[in-house]
Amino acid sequence: MDALAARAAELRRRLEEANYRYYVLDDPDIADAEYDALLRELQALEAAHPELARPDSPTRTVGIAPQSGFAEVRHALPMLSLANGYEHEDGHDDASRFPEAADFVRRAQAELGRSELVFSAEPKFDGLAINLRYERGALVQAATRGDGSVGEDVTANVRTIRAIPLRLRGTPPEVLEVRGEVVMPKAGLEAFNRRALAHGEKPLANPRNGAAGSLRQLDPKVTAQRPLAFFAYGLGEVQPADAAPPSQSRILQWLRTLGLPVSPEVAVAHSFAELIAYYRGLAARRAQLPYDIDGVVFKLDAVADQERLGYVARAPRWALAQKFPAEEQETVLEAIDVQIGRTGAVTPVARLRPVQVAGVTVTNATLHNADQVARLDARVGDTVIVRRAGDVIPEVVRVVPDRRPPGTRPWHMPTHCPECGSRIERLDGEVVARCTGGLVCPAQRKQALLHFASRRAMDIVGLGERQIDGLVDFGYVHGIADLYRLTVADLVAMKQRQDAAAGSVPETVKAGKVATRWAENLVAAIARSRSTTLERLLYALGIREVGESTAKLLARQFGSLQALMDADEASLQQVPDIGPVAATRIAHFFAEPHNREALAALRKAGVHWPEGAPQRAAQGPLAGKTVVLTGTLAALTREQAGERLEALGAKVAGSVSKKTSFVVAGADPGSKLARAQELGIEVWDEARLLHELRRHGQAP
Ligand code: IVH
């Protein structure tokens, strides 16, 4: 029995230590699985020997019965609120942009009779305020803020939150009331909602509701399932009173040593300017923080200074909540359009009744994709909640179901592209729908043209983003074939219109000459690109999944454009390195009449390339082998190694698949080596490669 009691005590000690390292030090030293194993062992032990169970055991949630309601708790010291300050966008300097903060500092300086002050600057957590009461180091009660004087007893639920210690570390005072905020980390909320949706349950609306709703559960087992965190920010009753340090920043350090989580974002500031810099710094990182905050809190640091300033109504005069502009607002969804991205991705976009969100007027918000629209069940006419987090594009977070007008209909992805009329398709297993218009879709045209002209594609020197913008915007070029019809006069005219639109360049003789020279050079560069190779052309077409190495394989395998265009998905998949996805993409590309027309137009414009019969099976000792190269080789470059392997009959592919015969791995190989190992594919190191090359007279 003694041995079992000792084991239980040891398990409790190790679990408490693990909680402390994880929640307070943010430096866990055991894996989740190990933690779970220890917890399960303790649970089993306490279940088999109830006399070993302790009220403050880390297994606390086990066997706690649901409650019928929450008892009232009268706070020993009232839980106050904070005066708010806001950012006024129209201010001409920081004092007028942040008038409440400026007043707060000025008033403190005036009343304390000195200009140098010390402040504590802290995040303003967006969760649920609670008071934790520890007596002789043990948690005896947890209560919500309620009306500030009387709150609700949520002890049973709070005991399930691992971030909150049931026993304090070190030497706590006789009575210690800790105030802080229970928050739901964003990641925890997302994970919770994923699971809820998968089980057909109701997702949590936001982290604040998540925290509040979780603590107000009548069944502590439900609370225990919720991912909750806690940050301490202040004190309630302390006995003996002089046990507490004399400043806010030292109080927070002290609480940390007692085992309570304190945000790593707390700081000390010495002036209005430093307070505002703190505000701006945290505002900029707000979206990246693991939990929601709705502003920052400035507090006079010295408790003696706090006492001199005192309180008005229910708020301290020694503190100010400097709030961030609201990130979420309600508005009306007036329409759902689709936008075509540069790769043809079709994104549903919410057109909104204009609304101020986080200080910016929002009229459009992304709905991400069709699945998201269905998940939200967003319909035209709905009242929706819009969010802007940091620099992120505004998004529709949810619909307010009670405000739905009658007669709305679910939204469906259009079947055809609004820009070019081509079919919109969504391949199996993909979230994103795409316009199949490719080269003829104006939304995709600029990107396609840029790629077409790029060095490793058609290599049209001097045809860059600015030129393509002008050519497309002023209607000189629609498809790729139009490039080959451009004249010097067209280009000069286009440049003049572009410059005029940009409000620059007087017409001088010299400028005219420069423009003509530029246009002649570009026309010549375009003309030179008429003579190309099939593999460059295939790469230049910008077919998804067809990079340079795939283009090369296709060109070799099929020999002519016509043979490739006639190939079905099955024969495309015969090509080493081409899987089902790429095969589908290629087949769909050539099946699209627009793309066939664009290719015919290219030929007509004089673009030509040598064509041959499909390559016969390669000869040589490595004939029929498909090789993938990865990492850095010492004796030769990867390209040289590839050429030598090809000379021996091997096919060099860009990615590892079941069809790969072997992988050559140099130094610092990437994921290709891992993939090869996963598939059990033979791997050659450089020595083996050199040995084989030497054997067949291909030594470098
Ligand atoms: S101090 C006497 N510090 O904001 C001062 N409050 O608007 C009392 N809050 O009820 C609060 N983060 O729930 C303080 N770092 C922080 C805070 C914070 C969030 C909440 C708290 C309070 C509310 C007042």
CB contact at 8 A, 414 and 424: yes
The answer to whether the CB of 145 is under 6 A from ligand 1 is yes
Q: What distance in angstroms lies between residue 400's CA and the mean position of ligand 1's atoms? A: 29
Convert the pLDDT of each residue in 254-267 to its tens digit. 999 999 999 999 99
Highest mean pLDDT pick, 63-67, 144-148, 246-250, 540-544: 246-250
125 alpha carbon – ligand 1 mean position (Å):
7
Q: Which of 192-196, 369-373, 683-687 shows the lowest per-residue confidence on average (mean pLDDT)?
A: 192-196
Contact assessment for residue 590 and residue 665, using Cβ atoms and an 8 Å cutoff: no
Q: Does residue 653 carry a pLDDT above 50?
A: yes
Nearest CA to ligand 1 atom 24: 81
Question: Does 281 contact ligand 1 (Cβ within 6 A)?
Answer: no
User: pLDDT above 70 covers what percent of the chain?
Assistant: 95
pLDDT digit string, tens, across residues 160-217: 999 999 999 999 999 999 999 999 998 888 888 778 777 767 777 678 878 888 888 8
Q: At residue 61, does pLDDT exceed 60?
A: no
Residue-level pLDDT at 86: 87
What amino acid occupies position 578? I
With a cut of 50, say whether residue 62 has pLDDT above it. Answer: no
Ligand 1 contacts CB of residue 82 (under 6 A): yes
Diameter over CA atoms, the chain? 104
Residue 356 has pLDDT above 90, yes or no: no
d(CA 55, CA 642): 69
Q: What single DSSP character describes residue 302?
A: B
- Scanning 272-408, the segments in alpha helix (DSSP H) are 272-285, 303-309, 370-376
Closest to 336 (Cα-Cα) out of 431, 423, 408, 393: 408
Q: What is the pLDDT of residue 376?
A: 93
Of residues 131, 138, 213, 218, the one with CA closest to residue 175: 138
Atom 18 (ligand 1) nearest CA:
124
- Kindly report the protein residue whose alpha carbon is nearest to atom 10 of ligand 1: 81
Sign of CA dihedral 328, 186, 150, 310: negative
Q: What is the dihedral of CA 537, 543, 544, 548, to 10 degrees?
A: -10
Between the CA of 430 and the centroid of ligand 1 the distance, in Å, is 45
Q: Is 236 in the pocket of ligand 1 (CB under 6 A)?
A: no
Per-residue pLDDT at 359: 64
Query: Separation of 84 CA from ligand 1 center, angstroms?
Result: 11
Rounded to two decimals, the pTM is: 0.54
pLDDT for 63 equals 41
Mean pLDDT of 13-37: 84
Which residue, by CA, sits nearest to atom 9 of ligand 1? 124
**Least reliable range by pLDDT among 206-220, 560-574, 671-685:** 206-220
Are 424 and 436 in contact, with CB atoms under 8 Å apart? yes
**Alpha-carbon span 103 to 86, nearest angstrom:** 12
For ligand 1, is residue 343 a contact (CB within 6 Å)?
A: no
Atom 17 of ligand 1: nearest residue by CA position: 124
- DSSP, collapsed to helix, strand or coil, labels residue 383 as strand
Would you say the CB of residue 437 lies under 6 angstroms from ligand 1? no
Helix (H) or strand (E) holding 19: helix 2-23
The DSSP string of 623-645 is TT-EEEEESB-SSS-HHHHHHHH
Q: 3-state SS string over 510-568?
A: HHHHHHHHHHHHHHHHHHHCCECCHHHHHHHCCCCCCCHHHHHHHHHHHCCHHHHHHCC
Tens of pLDDT, residue by residue over 114-168, are: 999 999 999 999 899 999 999 999 999 999 998 888 889 999 899 999 999 999 9
